[in-house]
Structure 1
Amino acid sequence: MRNTIGSLRAWFREHPLIPDLFLGGALAAAAVPFAHVSQVFGDPARLGGPDAMSLGLIVTGCLSVALRRHWPFLLLCLVCLIEITLAAAERNPSLLWLAALVLVYTIAVRRGLAVSLCAPALALTGHFLSAAVGGGLGEWSTHLLMVVFAVSLWIAGRNVRLRRAYQAELHDRARRMEHIREVDTRAARAEERSRIARELHDVVAHHVSVMTVQAAAARRVLAGNPEGAREALSAIEELGRTAMSEMRSLVGVLRTDAAPAERSPQPGMREIPALVDQMREAGLPTQLWIEDERGTTGALPPGVDLAAYRLVQEALTNSLRHAGPRARAWVTVRHESGELAVRVTDDGLGQEAGEPSERVTGHGLVGIRERVALYGGLLRIGPRPEGGFEVDARFPLKDT
């Protein structure tokens, strides 16, 4: 039953002319017999019975209500004019006063404040003029009732207009919030995919570079040192498993139709010594200095911890790939008051011409810049004056 009523209301809202035609027709149908009862409004001796012209004017005024949503103010003027004309002809205006009140309500609902204020004034002016012309100005009870009806319907119409405006504002606000939520969702997804892309690059570039160096070493010593080749192949196997595990954890984030993949803890600065040992085994002699001027080894913020680790990982991977076979690398980590400084350098021995430019513009170093900028840090990347390459980053920290 409720669904039927709701569907009917929705249909009427989509076709507003239909209920307006019913309203105008009902008023016209009731006004014709009502015009013969002249005793209801005024003195029978003063108002004559209806004729064809007066009935035509009454029906026209009542039927004009059917177009009230299009020209309500113009139709109100028409109804008042018909009412005055009938009073001048000493004919009963029948239910034209009711049609005028309907138009007053419509103007209050559909027009602004200034125009709507003119509606009850115009309706009352037409009523009093018709009473004055027809000689019924002394009927104060009828006039008072007309004033009360006009003001009450105007107030009701204004309340409906304000409520509709409030509901429209709520709907518009909800639509804007939904749009903002969709934009934020797309931005969050893009940021998350960018983060995953950086993580995948760091993982793949580092492990594949080390595996390539280990495979080359195993190939060189395979004939003369089988045990050394076996150790290199074991290291390649372990690196491959580690890379696959990290990639599986990252790719699991992108899955929407399956359970999330198991994720191991993200690496941090505590894994820097193991990373340096791994680079030494891969053939890049690396020295590590960790200095803590605060006298404490308090935990770093997780984001800064991961960003600093990835920076060292990418810088050492680039040194392994580009610095040359006889190169050496140095990693310096310094915990200062309010700052974490990370510096990775190499001497670039055996480096081929043109390599520094490639190292500056690689995708990995672009990711480093994004990571450092994300946490408000400062970064310097470029060749060293004495030769080699340098990556120097400073992350701001809250004082503890």
Structure 2
Amino acid sequence: MEATVPRPVAARVPSAVMPWVALAAYPVALALTVAVGTGDEVNGPATMLPILVLALPGILLPRWPLVGFVGLLVGVVGLAPLNISGLVGFGQAIVLDVAVAYVAATRSRIATAGAVGTAILAEGAAATIYASNGNEYVNVLVALLLGVLVAWLGGTALRQRRDYRAALLTRAASDAVTTERLRIARDLHDQVAHSIGVIAIQAGVGRRVIDTQPDEARKALDTIETASRETLAGLRRTLVALRRSDAEPATTATAGLAELDSLVTTTEAAGVRARVRIDGEPRVLPPDVDLAAYRIIQEALTNIVRHAQTENCTIIIGYALPELTIVVSDAGRGGIDSGTGYGIPGMRERATLLGGHLTAGPREEGGFEVSATLPLPADQA
């Protein structure tokens, strides 16, 4: 599964546009503050030109926050001797605070601490110029320090949010990899275990009768060949699926209940006759449900062939809405403990992943039974 995180509104704006917007907005804001400030202290273009020049380092903030911060810091120091209106001084300080936020959001804690300390010193020195008396100096200094504090907290919060989001994406990717590994392990186990069990039994039969009953030995070899080819084809399908990128459409068919007859034939070749009963009207199943149903039956038959020591078993498939039911039972010696292998846990995982459940254990009348319930989607039900 693929984890998606909504993109912030700012992320939808091309990165190349942001610096130019900031560059245009900054001198405009300064011009407005000058217009409503003490006009006598401003000499028109002679003053606005230095303001524009001192704003240029703002372009560097998105790509080189530290360099942009130093440039704007020079602007604060360079603009102060012009003794422009206090509103302009505050505008310059606000832009420096934005640079502090940029550094806090994108750089290390050491760099952030240096930027915060330098901004405090620079704005504290500027406050002595903009304040006309001691009381005003304290008020201006407190306002400037609060601006730096808010910028630092805001930038730190943005950095923590970004780090948290990155951690979530990393964990989601790791979980997806783990889930895929488990799925591949289940598929390989189900594909190989059944066929290897059949091959082992038929090889033993062929070895015992090769001298006395060559025809039976030939049948055993034919069964081994068929099982081997089917396993090889299944492994090839798995490898093709693994090599296929997410953008490519699936071109290989997955196993499903349509192949149940072939599975029953292979099981009978291993010495266990399987009787199949269908309850309800068969219908086309979703691929994941179809595959899970087939693999559960396949693993149940594999366990019967290996451990039940019986010649007969029963497969019941129920299409009663709103779920698909599967029961595989035998009258053998009771099967195996669910803790001795991966087969039963794998079957249970397949059912659980689809929102169903599976039970496996000895029957009261003898033998072993696997019972699974797989929910069907609403449109199927």
Please say whether Structure 1 and Structure 2 have the same fold, judged by a TM-score greater than 0.5.
yes
> Which ranges in structure 2 are unaligned for 5 or more consecutive residues?
1-18, 20-55, 84-116
- The one of 327, 339, 357 equivalent to 1:343 is 327
RMSD: 4.1
Taking structure 1 as reference, are residues 84 and 299 closer, same or farther at Cα in structure 2, changes over 3 Å only? Answer: closer
- The one of 234, 243, 247 equivalent to 2:231 is 243
Listed one character per residue, the Cα deviations across residues 227-275 of structure 1 (whole Å, up to 9, x for unaligned) are 2211211221121111112112223444489x99996311212222221
Corresponding residue number in structure 2 for 1:356: 336
Counterpart contact for 1:340–1:394, Cα < 8 Å: yes
- The one of 283, 290, 293 equivalent to 1:298 is 283
- The one of 179, 191, 196 equivalent to 1:203 is 191
Structure 1 segment 39-54 matched on structure 2, within 5 A:
none
Shift, 1:106, TM fit: 4.6
- TM-score calculated relative to the size of structure 1: 0.60
Counterpart contact for 1:249–1:261, Cα < 8 Å: no
Equivalent-residue separation in structure 2 for 1:332 and 1:342 (angstroms) = 6
Instruction: Give the 3-state SS of the residue equivalent to 1:336 in structure 2.
Output: coil
Taking structure 1 as reference, are residues 282 and 25 closer, same or farther at Cα in structure 2, changes over 3 Å only? Answer: closer
> Which ranges in structure 1 are unaligned for 5 or more consecutive residues?
32-66, 86-96, 113-160
Structure 1 segment 260-271 matched on structure 2, within 5 A:
264-271=252-259
Shift, 1:70, TM fit: 2.0
Which one-letter code corresponds to 2:223 in the other structure? A
Structure possessing the higher radius of gyration over alpha carbons: 1
Corresponding residue number in structure 2 for 1:365: 344
Shift, 1:69, TM fit: 1.7
> How many pairs are equivalent?
289
Equivalent-residue separation in structure 1 for 2:181 and 2:62 (angstroms) = 47
Corresponding residue number in structure 2 for 1:277: 265
Structure 1 segment 1-400 matched on structure 2, within 5 A:
13-14=66-67, 20=73, 24=77, 69-71=119-121, 75=125, 78=128, 84=133, 106-107=144-145, 109-112=147-150, 165=154, 173-255=161-243, 264-292=252-280, 296-324=281-309, 326-348=310-332, 356-357=336-337, 359=338, 361-397=340-376, 398=378, 400=381
Q: Name the stretch that deviates more: 99-108 or 278-287.
A: 99-108
Taking structure 1 as reference, are residues 284 and 19 closer, same or farther at Cα in structure 2, changes over 3 Å only? Answer: closer
Taking structure 1 as reference, are residues 345 and 104 closer, same or farther at Cα in structure 2, changes over 3 Å only? Answer: closer
Which one-letter code corresponds to 1:284 in the other structure? V
Equivalent-residue separation in structure 2 for 1:243 and 1:186 (angstroms) = 30
Shift, 1:378, TM fit: 2.5
Corresponding residue number in structure 2 for 1:131: none
Which one-letter code corresponds to 1:69 in the other structure? A
- TM-score calculated relative to the size of structure 2: 0.63
Instruction: Give the 3-state SS of the residue equivalent to 2:369 in structure 1.
Output: strand
Instruction: Give the 3-state SS of the residue equivalent to 1:185 in structure 2.
Output: helix
Instruction: Give the 3-state SS of the residue equivalent to 1:250 in structure 2.
Output: helix
Percent identity between the aligned chains?
Answer: 32
Which one-letter code corresponds to 1:386 in the other structure? E
Counterpart contact for 1:72–1:107, Cα < 8 Å: no
